[in-house]
Amino acid sequence: MKVGFIGLGIMGKPMVKNLLKAGYEVTVYDIIKENVALMVQAGADEKKSAREVAGLSDIIITMLPNSPQVKEVVMGKDGVLEGAREGSILVDMSSIAPLVSQEVHRACAAKGVKMIDAPVSGGEPKAVDGSLSIMVGGEKEVFNEVYDLLMVMGGSAVHCGKIGAGNTTKLANQVIVALNIAAVSEAFMLSTKAGVDPMKVFDAIKGGLAGSTVMNAKVPMITSGNFKPGFKIDLHIKDLNNALDTGHGVGAPLPLTASVMEMLQTLHADGCGQEDHSAIVKYYEKIAETCIRMGKEEE
């Protein structure tokens, strides 16, 4: 089976490496040539456009920043649909607006191309070790066709419903993650201001009901001041924008999401947009004039 992969960012590169390790023939394209060169060194084949990649592939995977990029790469000039063969499958693993997934699906269907939306959760570490959580929308038969491929990149792949359901599920995931990081930051600021070591708090509560994968992953980053991005603040802003737009469209109240969005927008304005979303703690440090990071002076 020949696989095309378009979008070689923080997530895409390790996903391609896992496909190569599993024995798939992978053809790649990205506008950032350095990323393409790294994948060629790992064993992938390079093509000059999304159209060329699609023309050589049974399954085309896209892993792109947002809705406009997916529409351009799939439906635009030299895009996937100009090269894809009838009966091929597009697996869009980008995190985009559900309505855009449905729009792209209609364009694919008109060309005889099958499509699922299959966004992921887990960030760079789980992309590297192939344990991403993959949430899928589309026809169940198409999901079944690509399940084994998805499981090379993921620890789980769940069919959530019709096209767009994968991205709706991802938006729910991103709401929970953002609010969880904000809650952790708020609670640890409370403990710091009260004179209790945040790492002692972490050790005491991580095994209880307050414990979570998010807390386990982000507290060590927060307390060490390591904000190297596994998932950037600017990307989380994108996801929460899509969540709020979707919520407004379906009549779902999202007041907590709106509050955390304001925190993220403040951090973006402060120049933190390219940092990991664990840097939400900096919002609290700014307004409390207290730094909870170990070994750091107040900022």
| Residues belonging to the active site | 170
CA–CA dist 208, 265 (Å, integer): 32
- Length of the chain equals 299
Residue 120 contacts residue 137 (beta carbons within 8 Å): no
Phi, psi of 205 (to 5 degrees): -110, -10
**Angle at 179 (CA atoms; ends 133, 255), nearest 5 degrees:** 120
CA–CA dist 100, 67 (Å, integer): 6
Phi, psi of 159 (to 5 degrees): -80, 120
**Angle at 117 (CA atoms; ends 115, 121), nearest 5 degrees:** 150
Residue with tokens 């955390």: 260
Three-state DSSP state, 161: strand
For β-strands 120-121 and 132-137, DSSP reports them as antiparallel
CA–CA dist 14, 12 (Å, integer): 6
- Report which secondary-structure segment, H or E, holds 62: strand 59-62
> How many other β-carbons are positioned within 10 Å of the β-carbon of residue 215?
20
Nearest to 66 by CA among 107, 98, 95: 95
Could you tell me the CA-to-CA distances from 217 to 170, 206, 224, 266 in Å, in that order?
Answer: 19, 11, 12, 23
